[in-house]
Amino acid sequence: MERNSNDVRGLLSRMPDNTAFKQQRLPAWRSHLTAWAVLPGFFTTGAFFLGMGILLILSAKSVKEIEITYTSMCSNCAKLRENASNFYKECTCSVPFFIPEKMPGNVYMYYKLHNFYQNLRRYTISRNNRQLLGEDITNVENCAPFQRDSNGIPIAPCGAIANSMFNDTILLSYYPHSSTRINVPLLSSGITWWTDKHIKFQNPRSNNLPSAFTGTTKPPYWRKPVYQLDPENPENNGFLNNDFIVWMRVAALPTFKKLYRRIHRTGPFANGLPAGNYSFDIAYNFPVTVFKGEKGVVLSTVTWSGGSNLFLGIAYLTTGAVMWLAAFSMTAVHLKMKKRNIVSES
Amino acid sequence: MSGIPLVRVPFRKQKKNEKERCLQANNKEFNEKFEYEHNAIKTAKYNFFTFLPLNLFEQFQRVANAYFLFLLLLQLIPQISSLVWYTTVIPLALVLSMTGVKDAIDDMFRHKNDKQVNNRPILVIVNGMVKEEKWLNIRVGDIIKLQNNSFVPADVLLLSSSEPYSLTYIETAELDGETNLKVKQALVVTSNLEDNLEKLSNFKGEVRCDPPNNKLDKFTGVLIHEGETYALDNEKILLRGCTIRNTDWCYGLVIYAGQDTKLMQNSGKTTFKRTSIDHLMNVLVIWIFVFLIGMCSFLTIGHGIWENQKGYFFQIYLPFEEEISSSALCIFLIFWSYVIILNTVVPISLYVSVEIIRLGNSFYINWDRKMFYIPKNTPAQARTTTLNEELGQIQYVFSDKTGTLTQNIMTFYKCSINGRLYGDIYSMTGQKVEITQDTEKVDFSYNNLADPKFSFYDKTLAEAVKKGNPMVHLFFLCLSLCHTVMSEEKVEGELVYQAQSPDEEALVTAARNFGFVFHSRTSETITVMEMGVTKVYDLLAILDFNNVRKRMSVIVKTPEGKVILFCKGADTIIWELLHSSCKPLQDITMEHLDDFAGDGLRTLAVAYRELDEESFQKWIQKHHRASTAVEDREEKLGLIYEEIEKDMMLIGATAIEDKLQDGVPETIVTLMKANIIIWVLTGDKQETAVSIGYSCNMLTDDMDDMFVIDAKESSMVLKQLRSARRVMKPDSFLRTDPVTKLISQSEKKNFILPEEVPNGSYGLIIDGHSLAYALEEDMELELLRTACMCKSVICCRVTPLQKAQMVELVKKYKNMVTLAIGDGANDISMIKAAHIGVGISGQEGMQAVLASDFSFAQFRFLQRLLLVHGRWSYIRMCKFLCYFFYKNFAFTLVHFWYAFFSGFSAETVFDEWFIAFYNLFYTSLPVLALSLFDQDVNDLWSLRFPELYYPGQNNLYFNKKEFVKYLIYAIYTSFVLFFIPFGTTYNSVRSNGKDFSDYQSFTLIIQTSLLVVVTVQVGLETTYWTAVNQFFIWGSLAMYFSIMFLLYSDGLFLLFPQTFQFMGTARNTFILPQVWLIIALTVAICLLPLIVLRFLKMDLLPTQTNKILAKIRECMKNPVPPPARTKLRRTSSRRSAYAFAHQHGFGALITSGKNMKSR
């Protein structure tokens, strides 16, 4: 008996295994585009897109935003900056403006640059994260063309990104009456990513920040060394300076805005910015007209979906509408063809 | 077992041209001067040390690999390196190592195979002793001893053998596919050596002969022995690959060894077959290169303009690099930077993925139980793993007949004796009953010499024999006497017949089972056991068979003293020779013969004539005179034979079934329904080929006409071909006919012959002689036009070379995918010539299998191979390629859009790690699962609806048009992928007020959207969601997100801050609702038009395939109906004819007594 079964096994020794995998009989769910799957799917997703579009548009519309481009308004300062020899000359410029409606809640202040290419290949790689980590302050690898000054002293922070840091100072003043002027309190904290502030950027370990940077020099376009960026708040200096961190997170597109300050909600501004007359007092340091760029300031509130950009809402609304249109026409075609098929079959 | 590899060594050193081969037996020093090839064969390519350098060298010869090496070198130049080196090194290393491993495994198998063949044992005479050696140690000039049933290891000159007159029987199945025995005979001078070892080792004969060549049937040379010169011809040569049969031992002198043997010379160059998709892919890759260069040039110009207008002024923040002197150089470098960035349009993993998919689909063929042949324990085998998808595109099948369509087994199936038909069985009610496996067989236990393998179902015949019906006895007596079969009684009571043709064997075996046992013969007698009584008949004459006579007769003297002539032959011939009194019987028998022919049986008529002693004596003298005539002996003998073969009395007729393999007619019908055109190319004769054509439904009676091209000269062949075409398509002779115009106008040899539609259905039969003329250059188009208009084409009596020429002809002018299927060595050339060669395995000869790309045991598996495996492979490959190009274009082209906003500075839009991993990890598995598991319908349905095969034949799923469609779709996708995130992040902020449009977040949003879009896209292409598909699709997404979080984690950043710059991006971006809204929106916008188009196309412009698929889905809702078996009825009224082997019989040999052992 046993021998017999052995024989059978020997005779069929090369028989393939009868497994679902080898016989291509794996259990499976078959999918294909049936009317029953496609049409209801289109109607429901279309409805979702339409609804979401309306919601997004409404929320974007609720955002109050004011944008002021000051390059042309401060044309004399702009002219001054075109000449590099005026590097250390101060130039201030005041830009008055009017807020027609109250800006409720949190208000954010941004600076906006046009035509500034933070995304050029050579620009984006011109930095050294190891230096910025404070580990090796003289490591200027990859920082070309701003690695060392003419004396060969390593630059800290090195690289084209750091060197080109936006260095205008903008102050906001509120005029409740034509004669009174209140400086709107601005916060420079909370404008960076937590991960940047706490991991990516570290000052060199030392009790005294200036001594930590000995052996390095400031970037050529900077007026002050990195450890003196914020004279008011000693914590906000070195690589941990908030404005510096914000700048170092390069923008994807040549027109961008970066968060500059938050409005401190105290006193008259506890509920946001009231309507009325305001002015920006700008220390104009950053040359942009050389490369046909423009600078601006933006004040904006936010909602859950971000800022005042309507794009996403409109895109959703359009897509939803197109989906419904498609769904209706597909239904019509399908019903018609079905009828014809039935007729032709009978 | 008989695995002799046919692959020629690619790196073989070319030897100096040999003019003449000269060798001396037993003289090593003399023979070594010539440096003849040794008998070792080497097919393996590498050894342990050469593997790495050689393999790498070979791999970098591939354009794609070389291209990536070039890219890698570019990336090492810092000025243009827009991507870090690992984005190219990781994929390239993976690709190279995977291919390397596969090559190594392949080569290991070749080593094993070589070793096995080279180490077979053989007996060689060394210093007067017989010594066992390995095959590889045989040298030219050695004398070797061959034993019964052993393989001949080299081409040897037969010296002597155990049989009288030094005859040696061999089987040449491995060489030419013929299983019948052939006789070789040694020279008298050498046969005297016998098995005397002393004489043999002192034999100093010198042989001068042709240099090694590939002509199997030609050998000219001389043997110079003791000053005398003897001519040598093919009759004295045993070739490598033959098997010794019925000969206890023989000795031979090795003349050609190893690669010089005719078998190896004949194996031809193994050309590397590539599929049409391979060719298309190469064309497309060139297109893509051009596209790439175009894009890079465009972007370079863009960069030039940008530098001029903006970059120049932006220098205060980003001065030009010191080393780069001019902006022209800078612009030139940007070109190469973009070449590096956009290189992913030519995906490096494409070729490797294609190979993996083909390998996987080949394994399915090996694993298919429905292509496993139980009786022979033979599974199907994909021997070439790179041709799978072409199985789904076959348009022409060239099939051998013997052993492929038929089993090459003849069985005695029916007979008509004295006007009564035997063989059909009837039920109690008088209804004819179909014979199945369960039908009760006739019990032959009364006859202890019966062959147990023989089966017959009609009991009435056995009863008639037992009752002693004289005509029935006469019938079987005739069958047991009138033949040239040789018998052998190895064990007492166990007779083994050796016949030249299987037909004869079948008839003699039938007689044996019914009690008329042919026992033995001498040159003068035939011993027959008639119903247990031994009788000896004196054999007076054998009137042998030839093609003109189409009959054979024997004249015997019975023990009772009567002289009787027994004759069997083609019915049409016999009818002329019958006595007039047979007329009524003739008419009835005629009806029976029609009946047999209708069943596709091979028929013979059987007759006898009693002779009186006197007239016979007169005749035999004439016969003797004629047989010693020097001139025109054949003709004279023929006339003498006719004198005595007349006024014969009809006994009856036999019907032999040339057994088709199981399921052959059904398979052919199915394949024809799938629009596959089947041409049968056979070495067999016309009648047999035609009768098989009818029985397997290639030829039917409802065909409008059947043309036979059998002319003997060129002009007549042309005339016959033209007249056939005139009947089928008279218009084609008009000057205005588009095809005629095309042919007359085109000077070039390579144009494609368009399809022509005849006015009906026709068959074409063409024989080898005519084919020789028709295949000549001036007539081949004529042949092809005529042949292609016919529904079936049968070529008979063709040589192996002609088989290959036919295939080449179709390949040359038709641009269609061809498949050749055969079992014998005579099919090798055609198997190699066709796009796909299929070998029938499980038979004796293995040569065809070894040369083939796919092999299985039964012809009927062909439909499964093509309609199921081929179709699936094709669809899977097409889906894979479409998707693969799509995903890479969508991926790469985003860079193009970004260039407009990044100053054409070759900035990437993705994280470099994403670029490195995109093809390898993130998107490879789902499409791999798709191309290994997808099935639009299961195997039963694709066999049930052969029409589903059309799209593959017409190459509808992947062609240039489809490629362009997917290219456009990919451009659209990349556009959406870039501009939706662009529009959303532009001037936008996060909900916590922080800015949103930083480069790293932007990058992450785009790459995540891209990944989701392409993953959903692969889901859309998947129609068969197995657990693996689900796992891979969801797993890929999960893997993407987890790798993202890993690469963007604090730990990696702190270790390598320059390499993992994106730290924190994932955490800070994926928490935003906008990001998910963007992803949802891009997916919707990307897929919306595709789904709408597909849906509308299915409703408005459904293809034939769509309709069938819809029908199948309708059916699937209900329980699956049993597959409808195509009912086949052979309605033929055709008559097959005498079916002997197309050679002379052994008649002359028997009467001369040469092959009888002296007793």
CATH, residue B423: 3.40.1110.10
| Residue from A7, A12, A253 to probe the interface with B (highest B Cβ count within 10 Å) | A253
Question: How is B439-481 classified by DSSP, letter by letter?
Answer: SPPPP-TT-TT--TT-----HHHHHHHHHT-HHHHHHHHHHHH
Q: Confirm whether residue B210 is marked as ligand binding.
A: no
Q: Name the token pair of A156.
A: 């800290």
All residues of chain A having their beta carbon less than 8 Å from the beta carbon of residue B364 are 22, 24
Q: Confirm whether residue B401 is marked as ligand binding.
A: yes
Q: Confirm whether residue B827 is marked as ligand binding.
A: yes
Q: Are residues B733 and B848 in the same domain?
A: yes
pLDDT of residue B1137 exceeding 70, the answer is: no
For residue B954, what are the contacts with CB-CB under 8 A and spacing of at least 6? Answer: none
Q: Inter-chain contact A305–B980, Cβ cutoff 8 Å?
A: no
pLDDT of residue B710 exceeding 70, the answer is: yes
Within-domain flag for B105:
no
| B1001 shares contact with chain A (CB less than 8 Å) | yes
All residues of chain B having their beta carbon less than 8 Å from the beta carbon of residue A258 are 995
Q: Confirm whether residue B270 is marked as ligand binding.
A: no
Query: To the nearest whole angstrom, how far is the Cα of B372 from the nearest Cα of chain A?
Result: 7
Prediction ipTM score? 0.95
Find which of A36-45, A78-87, B1136-1145 is predicted with most confidence, using mean pLDDT: A36-45
Q: Inter-chain contact B933–A11, Cβ cutoff 8 Å?
A: no
Final residue belonging to a domain, choices B232, B267, B302: B267
Residue A10: the pLDDT is: 62
Within-domain flag for B914:
yes
**Residues 227-286 (A) with a CB less than 8 A from some CB of B:** 246, 249-259, 262
**B538 catalytically annotated:** no
Peptide bond preceding B1089 in cis form (omega within 30 of 0): no
Within-domain flag for B431:
yes
| A312 shares contact with chain B (CB less than 8 Å) | yes
Per residue in B509-522, pLDDT tens? 899 888 899 888 88
All residues of chain B having their beta carbon less than 8 Å from the beta carbon of residue A291 are 310, 313-314, 316-317
Per residue in B260-291, pLDDT tens? 888 777 665 556 778 888 888 888 888 998 99
Q: Name the token pair of B692.
A: 């098989």
Q: How many domains does chain B have?
A: 5
pLDDT of residue B229 exceeding 70, the answer is: yes
For residue B5, what are the contacts with CB-CB under 8 A and spacing of at least 6? Answer: B41, B43, B110, B113, B114, B117, B850
Alpha helix locations (H) across B903-1049? 912-917, 924-933, 939-944, 950-953, 960-985, 999-1021, 1027-1047
Residue B14: the pLDDT is: 45
Bridge partners of residue A126, in order along the sequence: none
Q: Are residues B746 and B770 in the same domain?
A: yes
For residue B781, what are the contacts with CB-CB under 8 A and spacing of at least 6? Answer: B743, B753, B813
| A214 shares contact with chain B (CB less than 8 Å) | no
Q: Are residues B792 and B739 in the same domain?
A: yes
Q: Are residues B639 and B714 in the same domain?
A: no
Q: Out of A124-138, B442-456, B531-545, B943-957, which region has the weakest mean confidence (pLDDT)?
A: B442-456
Q: Are residues B838 and B788 in the same domain?
A: yes
All residues of chain B having their beta carbon less than 8 Å from the beta carbon of residue A303 are 991
Residue B372: the pLDDT is: 92
Bridge partners of residue A24, in order along the sequence: none
Q: Select from A256, A108, A114, A297 the least CA-distant residue to B991.
A: A108
Q: Are residues B680 and B791 in the same domain?
A: yes
Report the SS3 class of residue B938. coil
Per residue in B14-39, pLDDT tens? 455 778 888 888 888 888 888 888 88
Within-domain flag for B272:
no
All residues of chain A having their beta carbon less than 8 Å from the beta carbon of residue B1026 are 26-28
Residue range B934-939: mean pLDDT, rounded: 89
What single DSSP character describes residue B646?
Answer: -
| A337 shares contact with chain B (CB less than 8 Å) | yes
Within-domain flag for B692:
yes
Find which of A23-37, A90-104, B34-48, B544-558 is predicted with most confidence, using mean pLDDT: A90-104
Q: Mean pLDDT, chain B, as a whole number?
A: 84
Peptide bond preceding B738 in cis form (omega within 30 of 0): no
Per residue in B102-116, pLDDT tens? 888 888 888 888 888
Per residue in B808-858, pLDDT tens? 999 988 888 999 998 877 788 888 889 999 999 876 556 678 778 899 999
Nearest CA in chain B to A25: B938
Greatest Cα pair distance in chain A: 115
Neighbours of B882 (CB within 10 A): 18
**Residues B338 and B362: beta-carbon distance below 8 Å:** no
All residues of chain A having their beta carbon less than 8 Å from the beta carbon of residue B318 are 117, 120, 122-123, 126, 145, 160, 164
Final residue belonging to a domain, choices B1020, B1050, B1085: B1085
Residue B1: the pLDDT is: 33
Q: Inter-chain contact B907–A193, Cβ cutoff 8 Å?
A: no
Residue B268: the pLDDT is: 52
Q: What is the dihedral of CA B389, B392, B393, B396, to 10 degrees?
A: 120
Domain housing B220: 138-267
Q: Inter-chain contact B933–A28, Cβ cutoff 8 Å?
A: yes
Q: B538 phi and psi, to 5 degrees?
A: -80, 125
Within-domain flag for B79:
no
| B975 shares contact with chain A (CB less than 8 Å) | no
- Dist CA B671 CA B429 (whole Å): 38
| Residue from B1, B299, B317, B374 to probe the interface with A (highest A Cβ count within 10 Å) | B317
Residue A273: the pLDDT is: 93
Q: Are residues B981 and B859 in the same domain?
A: no
Q: What is the CATH number of the domain that holds B225?
A: 2.70.150.10
Neighbours of B465 (CB within 10 A): 20
Within-domain flag for B542:
yes
Final residue belonging to a domain, choices B867, B896, B912: B867
Residue B855 vs residues B362, B374, B607, B748, B872: alpha-carbon distances, Å:
12, 15, 45, 37, 18
Q: Are residues B958 and B981 in the same domain?
A: yes
Q: Which of A33, A84, A145 sits opposite B321 (nearest CB)?
A: A145
Q: What is the dihedral of CA B574, B576, B578, B581, to 10 degrees?
A: 140
**Residues B265 and B213: beta-carbon distance below 8 Å:** yes
Q: Which of B317, B337, B364 sits opposite A24 (nearest CB)?
A: B364
Q: Confirm whether residue B57 is marked as ligand binding.
A: no
Q: What is the dihedral of CA B146, B148, B150, B155, to 10 degrees?
A: 40
Q: Which of B378, B1025, B1026 sits opposite A14 (nearest CB)?
A: B378
Q: Are residues B919 and B997 in the same domain?
A: yes
Q: Inter-chain contact A31–B1022, Cβ cutoff 8 Å?
A: yes
| B964 shares contact with chain A (CB less than 8 Å) | no
The 3 state secondary structure assigned to chain A is CHHHHHHHHHHCCCCCCCCCCCCCCCCEEECCCCHHHHHHHHHHHHHHHHHHHHHHHHHHHCCCEEEEECCCCCHHHHHHHHCHHHCCCCCEEEEEEEECCCEECCCEEEEEEECCCCCCHHHHCCCCHHHHCCCCCCCCCCCCCCCECCCCCEECCCCHHHHCCCCCEEEEEEECCCCCCEECCEECCCCCCHHHHHHHCCCCCCCCHHHHCCCCECCCCCCCCHHHCCCCCHHHCHHHCHHHHHHHCCECCCCEEEEEEEECCCHHHCCEECCEEEEEEEECCCCCHHHCCEEEEEEECCECCECCCCHHHHHHHHHHHHHHHHHHHHHHHHHHHHHHHHHHHC
Residue B4: the pLDDT is: 37
Residue B646: the pLDDT is: 85
Q: Out of B47-56, B359-368, B1031-1040, which region has the weakest mean confidence (pLDDT)?
A: B47-56
Q: Are residues B845 and B974 in the same domain?
A: no
Q: Inter-chain contact A15–B372, Cβ cutoff 8 Å?
A: yes
- pLDDT band at A174, cuts 50/70/90? very high
Q: Are residues B697 and B832 in the same domain?
A: yes
Q: Which of B985, B1064, B1084 sits opposite A45 (nearest CB)?
A: B1084
Query: To the nearest whole angstrom, how far is the Cα of B474 from the nearest Cα of chain A?
Result: 43
Residue B16: the pLDDT is: 56
**Residues B296 and B339: beta-carbon distance below 8 Å:** yes
Q: Select from A341, A334, A319 the least CA-distant residue to A39.
A: A334
Residue B242: the pLDDT is: 86
- Amino acid at the residue B1041: F
Nearest CA in chain B to A287: B316
Within-domain flag for B392:
yes
Nearest CA in chain A to B308: A291
Residue B122 vs residues B117, B125, B144, B148, B151: alpha-carbon distances, Å:
11, 10, 7, 12, 9
For residue B1005, what are the contacts with CB-CB under 8 A and spacing of at least 6? Answer: B981, B985, B1069, B1075, B1078, B1079
Question: How is B774-800 classified by DSSP, letter by letter?
Answer: HTSTTTHHHHHHHHHHSSEEEEES--H
Q: Select from B882, B874, B881 the least CA-distant residue to B942.
A: B874
Per residue in B754-765, pLDDT tens? 888 888 889 999
- The pTM score is 0.84
- Dist CA A12 CA A81 (whole Å): 91
Q: Confirm whether residue B368 is marked as ligand binding.
A: no
Query: To the nearest whole angstrom, how far is the Cα of A178 from the nearest Cα of chain B?
Result: 31
Q: How far is CA A139 from the centre of its chain?
A: 28
Q: Are residues B316 and B217 in the same domain?
A: no
Residue range A193-208: mean pLDDT, rounded: 90
Q: Confirm whether residue B823 is marked as ligand binding.
A: yes
Q: Inter-chain contact A33–B1098, Cβ cutoff 8 Å?
A: yes
Residue B189: the pLDDT is: 85
Q: Which single residue is written with the structure tokens 């017409």? A: B954
Q: Which of A12, A253, A326 sits opposite B1092 (nearest CB)?
A: A326
Single out the catalytic residue among B114, B368, B400, B934: B400
Percent of chain A whose predicted confidence (pLDDT) is above 90: 60
- pLDDT band at B1035, cuts 50/70/90? very high
All residues of chain A having their beta carbon less than 8 Å from the beta carbon of residue B991 are 302-306
Q: What is the CATH number of the domain that holds B767?
A: 3.40.50.1000
**Residues A280 and A102: beta-carbon distance below 8 Å:** no
**Residues B880 and B281: beta-carbon distance below 8 Å:** no
All residues of chain A having their beta carbon less than 8 Å from the beta carbon of residue B1073 are 304-305
- Dist CA B1090 CA A154 (whole Å): 56
